[in-house]
Amino acid sequence: MSDHPAPFPSHRIGRAAFLGLAALTTGALLAGRKLPSAGSLLGGGSNVDGFTIYTIANIPEVDPASFQLHVGGLVDEPRTYSYHDLLAMPAVHETRYFQCVTGWSVPHPRWTGVRLWDLVAASRPISDARALHVRCLDQAYTESLTLDQARQADVLLAYGLNGHPLSRDQGFPLRLVVPGMYGYKFAKWVNHVEVVDRVMPGYWEQNGYDVNAYIGHSNGV
């Protein structure tokens, strides 16, 4: 297990700048409406297995037969993995509390996938490496982790949730899973992991969320 702060089993609200976003989401759900899917900060608002589904762009359609995950950047050996390659690796499971920064939570989601650091380590980061920059198939969603954060054994690239393959809404074929951090760090539709020399704020951080997203220790909590 990692040594980062444990998640709190309660609803928490994030940074004040995003309280309006939370209210908008709640209002749309109560009214039975979906939020706009494009041209605004968030779309979606539908509920799948207890998760409220948000999008910042169109949800990509992915053919698993042609999908590729690229691991590169400041490494000695850039590598490319097919979906089959990832499924053939030893599976890792994590069941942990999931907390969205806007307030809702899912108590015991069970993620299945591969350890992120196993993939990064196989490419042999060079001495200048300090962080990871994660990019996604929707060409909008990005995220970041320091190397120390990425080394935690419970940080996964997940391809399954609660015993089933990820749905498109949940990030098929790969979703970043960072237990102990708010859900906005769980980037969907991951297809690039780039090793970089500094933390590069992701989409949500560029819109006001904290780069270090540990529950109870960020976003004004």
Determine the structural domain holding residue 95 and report its residue range: 61-206
Asked whether residue 160 is assigned to any structural domain, the reply reads yes
Q: Domain count of the chain?
A: 1
71: burial class by Cβ within 10 Å (0-12, 13-18, 19+)? buried
Is 56 within the bounds of a domain?
A: no
Residue 169, in any domain of the structure: yes
92-141 pLDDT, tens per residue? 999 999 999 888 999 999 999 999 999 999 999 999 999 999 999 999 99
- Please write down the long-range contacts of 90-93, taking CB distance under 8 Å and 24 or more positions apart: 90/114, 91/160, 92/156
Assign 216 a pLDDT band (cuts: 50, 70, 90): confident
For residue 76, being part of any structural domain is answered with yes
Over 70: is that where the pLDDT of 34 sits?
Answer: no
CATH code of the domain in which 145 resides: 3.90.420.10
22 found inside a domain: no
DSSP 147: H
Residue 130 belongs to some domain of the structure: yes
| Residue 130 burial (10 A CB sphere; 0-12, 13-18, 19+) | middle
Say if 197 falls within a structural domain: yes
Q: Is residue 50 part of a domain?
A: no
Q: What is the pLDDT of residues 35-87, one digit of tens each?
A: 232 223 444 456 777 898 877 888 999 999 999 999 999 999 999 999 999 99
Using alpha carbons only, how large is the chain's radius of gyration in Å? 17
